[in-house]
Structure 1
Amino acid sequence: MDRARVVVVGSANMDLVAKATTLPQAGETVLGGEFVTVAGGKGANQAIAAVRAGAATSLLGAIGSDAFGVTLKARIDAAGVDTGLLRVVYGASGVALITVDAAGENTIVVTPGANGAFTDLTGPELAAIASADVLVAQLEIPVETVTAAARAAREAGTRVVLNAAPARALPAELLDAVDLLVVNQTEALAISGESRPEPLLASVPRAVQTLGAEGAWYVDRSGTSVRVPGVRVETVDSTAAGDAFTGALAVAWAEGREIVEAVGWACAAGAACARRLGASTALPNRAEIDELWSVSRGPGPGA
């Protein structure tokens, strides 16, 4: 079977990650421990997650002309993502400042940098979207660009998975082009005014609300409403668990997996990611996902 083809339209950031016993409160300084710099951004993370889950994956986005941009491209390339259409724009790359506590919880501040300059789509970028099985997008780039990408995918028959993060109200034009919406409780509230998934079906045909360690809740307009249990692991860092989930979900769906089972496999991917420190460096490969999935439920896609 040919590899599934996934195109990710989204952000690329350099993540500056510090571990501390507790997260600082307003006005407080805490003494940290381990510090790492990691290629991140929800777009880059989900592209790397999709590659490691088994798909041929391209990233459409923008990095800066600074040293962070050089490092970002090198690390995303090394992960196996096609960066042939990744733009370099003059100025600073996106940066995320991340603090992780002893329980694996985190706080994150993102400065968009070059991501904010990704304001249109070129002919080659539109062609890449049209040739994909699934388009994956998030909201760390201008929403107008996300909307244009989703509309182009819809016109070409490419499925659209939107991870509506960070939380914000979304234009109807974008939601009309979405096939599968992925949100957490906060993001669901921002879109529908309610912190559960069913009201989202007024805007999209399918939705998944992630529930952290508890798994995920899938709903669709056919009347399906399924709570998919999570996979229990010892959490080290939850920073990119949601990105691992979204990337794996897109791959399993692109490969033709039944959607509820795809959600379960994606839960295993999120759990596997949470066992390690970092963002892109923590994203699991297909064998790791299959192993956790097999232990908890049975064989995963292609196992």
Structure 2
Amino acid sequence: MINRSDKQTADVLLLASVLEKLRTHDGLTVARLHANRTGIAAPLMELAATRRFATVHELDVASAAFDLVANCVREDLHGTQQIVADAILALGLHTDTHAHAGLDDRITRSLYSTSLGRRRETLLNHWHRLHEALGHQPPEAPSDRALRGTTEPVVLRELANQLIRRDIYSVGSKTVVMLDAVPAPDVTPAGRVIVVGGAVMDATFRTKTLPAPETSSEAYSFDLSPGGKGLNQAVAAARLGFHTSLVAAITDDRFGEDILQHLRDEGVDTSLVKRIRGRRTPFTGVFEKELGDSIAVNWRNQNEVFLAGEDIDERSEQIAGCDALLLTFEVPRETMQQTLAVAHRDPADRPLAIVTPGQPYEDERISRDTFGRIDYLVAHPWELGSFASQGHGPFDPDPVARNLLAFGVETLCLLVNGGCTIYSGPAHDVISVPTIPSIYKESSASRDAFCAALAAKLLDNDRKFSGQVALWAAAAMSCATADFPLSNSMPDRQRIDALLARSPFTVNGSGLV
């Protein structure tokens, strides 16, 4: 029997050898990967992680392989290793950073030259300046011989190790079907989705351990990117093919502009966004460990950046006329209740209402009428604590869930560890949707994928809920969890269908087995 660790080591060595061959001449390029698809580049092109990247980002396999390597260098290599890999492979990751740091353009051009020898020479001649440009304390520069014989092989082997790690430790990566293997649907899904919620900037520190009180620790990666439940749900719905609009309060500072551009790049309509001038963008600080465990601190700037009832009234025609409304508790309680009231102005012809109670309102009760206007409440069990009676006994989400249905919520979806428990119907029937496992922890973005997929499948099926609808939404959540290392893990329909096609679970009546 072959030991798995031995096989993994062999795979790393093979891939490191491929990278060593691809560093020659003009380095790693999409054209070179495409030309050598069945030759020296084949092991890199055949990685399941490459296939998954191609599917998620709708790229051809050569472009996906290049972007995957660039992503690994940017996210998984640090300090000297990142600088060396970027230069030796001629990836060009730090062109803008070098310009901002004042490096002469001739240095940058030489660093990414089509000659490997020239790239090495530039790297060694400007060793300290290149490190300082990226904010790193430069170690002693190696000799040319040490660079070639020691530093480069170590760096490329570590890069190969990270590529293999992505190949192994993302459950679901092997389920990806290449874009040309599954025919795309002929018809774009009909329907309009409006999301009312928050749009913030996420400052994410990735660390192996959290520091103890009165100490500090080093993060191995940092990312500044648009986030918020409302924004993520809008992106997720757009990925599933719907005409999607976001209603959110966004400032006019540089971060607000970044948020708007991100939404436009993802195909989300921003015409209903409220622009607030002269204020600062809300932020979420996230400390994220390697497998997805995280803690977060929110600064909502809610006294200056928020949606008010009149903002909803100004958009009432669009909200009442959409097919599905996705609403989060990121907006003030009065605004949330006003939004649901607007959506229900014509009970006979109203949008489907899916609500996310995160973060729960503190010391603010929700009206009984509001509960009756929620078709689907998608929550984590702990979020039901604000709806429970204040007793001294242990918190039990089951009776709280049944009470919410008694108050008028049509269906409650409780998400737990990648699966969910569904409470629905006049008899408060319970459906357990199994977990499709992943090595990574379920993230907040996973719930956003679930909400968008739930809306999509319900609209596909004339709003009829079933175990199959629940399983499809849970599969979307599993895809987002399995694709955690990617910069945007929201799945498209093909990704979800591919995962389900290889899932051991089937639907039997209203339940799942």
Verify same fold: TM over 0.5: yes
Distance 1:25 1:250 in 2: 42
Q: How many residues align?
A: 298
Structure 1 pair 63–10 and aligned structure 2 pair: CA distance change class (3 A): same
Q: Which residue in the other structure is 1:119 paired with?
A: 308
Matched AA of 1:161: I
Q: Per-residue deviation at 1:234?
A: 2.6
Structure 1 contact 237–278 (Cα < 8 Å) conserved? no
| RMSD of aligned alpha carbons | 2.3
Q: Per-residue deviation at 1:198?
A: 2.6
Structure 2 contact 440–484 (Cα < 8 Å) conserved? no
Q: Per-residue deviation at 1:210?
A: 0.5
Distance 2:432 2:249 in 1: 36
TM-score (norm 1): 0.90
| 2:360 counterpart (155, 167, 188) | 167
1:227 has 2:415 as partner: no
Matched AA of 2:406: A
Structure 1 contact 20–99 (Cα < 8 Å) conserved? yes
Q: Which residue in the other structure is 2:246 paired with?
A: 59
Structure 1 pair 19–165 and aligned structure 2 pair: CA distance change class (3 A): same
Equivalent position SS for 1:117: coil
| 1:158 counterpart (351, 354, 357) | 351
Structure 1 pair 130–278 and aligned structure 2 pair: CA distance change class (3 A): farther
Q: Which residue in the other structure is 2:288 paired with?
A: 100
Between stretches 234-243 and 50-59, larger displacement belongs to 234-243
Structure 1 pair 83–29 and aligned structure 2 pair: CA distance change class (3 A): same
Structure 1 pair 19–254 and aligned structure 2 pair: CA distance change class (3 A): same
Equivalent position SS for 1:23: coil
Equivalent position SS for 2:345: helix
Q: Which residue in the other structure is 2:321 paired with?
A: 131
Q: Per-residue deviation at 1:258?
A: 3.1
TM-score (norm 2): 0.55
Between stretches 6-15 and 265-274, larger displacement belongs to 265-274
Distance 1:101 1:88 in 2: 34
Q: Which residue in the other structure is 1:69 paired with?
A: 256
Identity %: 26
Q: Per-residue deviation at 1:231?
A: 1.2
| 1:289 counterpart (496, 500, 506) | 496
Matched AA of 1:217: T
Between stretches 168-177 and 92-101, larger displacement belongs to 168-177
Structure 2 contact 313–342 (Cα < 8 Å) conserved? no
More helix by share: 2
More strand by share: 1
| 1:268 counterpart (475, 478, 494) | 475
Q: Which structure 1 residue ranges, 4+ long, deviate > 6 Å from structure 2?
A: none
Q: Which residue in the other structure is 2:69 paired with?
A: none
Equivalent position SS for 1:110: strand
Equivalent position SS for 1:113: coil
| 1:253 counterpart (451, 458, 463) | 458
Distance 1:27 1:269 in 2: 40
Structure 2 contact 355–374 (Cα < 8 Å) conserved? yes
Equivalent position SS for 2:426: coil
Distance 2:253 2:323 in 1: 33
Structure 1 pair 170–272 and aligned structure 2 pair: CA distance change class (3 A): farther
Equivalent position SS for 2:423: strand
1:200 has 2:389 as partner: no
Unmatched 5+ residue regions in structure 2?
A: 1-186, 390-395, 508-513
